[in-house]
Amino acid sequence: MTTTATSDSCRICAGDTHPTRTVFDDRYGYPGQYALHLCGKCGHRHLDVSMTPDQLGDLYTRYYPRSSFDVNAWTPPAEQSAWATWWHGLRASAYRWVPKNVRVLDIGCGFGESLGYHRNRGCDAHGVETDRNILRVAERHGLNVQVGLFDADNYEPASFDYVTLDQVIEHVSDPLPVLRGVQRVLKPDGTLVLSTPNADGWGARLFGGRWIHWHAPYHQQFFTRESIIRSAAQTGFTLEQATTVTNSAWLDYQWGHLVTFPAPGQPSPYWQPSGHRSIGQRIALKLLRIIDRLGVNVLLTRLMDSIGLGDNVVYVLRKRQS
């Protein structure tokens, strides 16, 4: 069954929604304030925002900080021991769920580190990225990347073993067409791995409007298990696994974000390190670094993941056989 959403209805099940809070870009200072809507039927949340592809390109190219990244310092992530992977929550990243020697497409590949990781493990790795800064990396390191929004027509049908959307599906204004496109490019019995923030976790409940992952207007969709199941049913997938697993570094970022929270329209001095930080903010950040080194953030993150309240969920979806 396919649902049709109106501007005020749920993007997944077309159920009635209501605004729960107003959020803004509390990292980089993109102008505007946005209503966050909650669906009463499937619990899905969406941000009331509409952007053209050109506006999205400008948002990520001008406001995201990748334009200052050093291409020569680019290094793919390394393999880690099973203990380190668990302890630090590294399987929060979708790319770490992809096996060796497969053909993989990473939609929203960021600065391309995941593509280097896959290539080093014998994979035929391809990427898609809206941020035009990826071209600097692709040219320097020989990565196979297309710039722009994901379009299934750019790929042969049934040509990938795995597709990943690593902290990406929440950025999409209309998720169902994207998932249908992914289904088209996956081989029979192919796998889609989604990693996305958990708005039902402890962080969103405790920090409220200052939760780090509202991240407006970049994050537009916040899935629940129910809204993922409904999405899968409409787009040719079945949900095989849902795992709450969070990178422990996220909690360190949350504390820093909390003590440097800006006014609307202003960039945060935490996310813009060249920005001015007050004496109180500098002292607080130093204390927070000490707390992080003591392992407090790791222990708290592992605890919350163990009871299903972590800040991130990894969903593994399998392409249904027709």
**Which domains can be identified in the chain, with CATH numbers?**
51-319 (3.40.50.150)
Encoded tokens for 148: 């722009």
The DSSP secondary structure of 95-127, one letter per residue, reads GGG--SS-EEEEET-TTSHHHHHHHHTT-EEEE
pLDDT at 224: 97
pLDDT at 1: 36
Q: What are phi and psi of 21, to 5 degrees?
A: -165, 165
Contact 69, 63 (CB under 8 A): no
The span from the CA of 59 to the CA of 175, in Å, is 19
182-240 pLDDT tens trace:
999 999 999 999 999 999 999 999 999 999 999 999 999 999 999 999 999 999 999 99
Contact 90, 52 (CB under 8 A): no
Residue 53 predicted with pLDDT over 80:
no
Mean pLDDT of the chain, nearest integer: 92
How sure is the predictor about 133, in pLDDT bands with cuts at 50, 70 and 90? confident
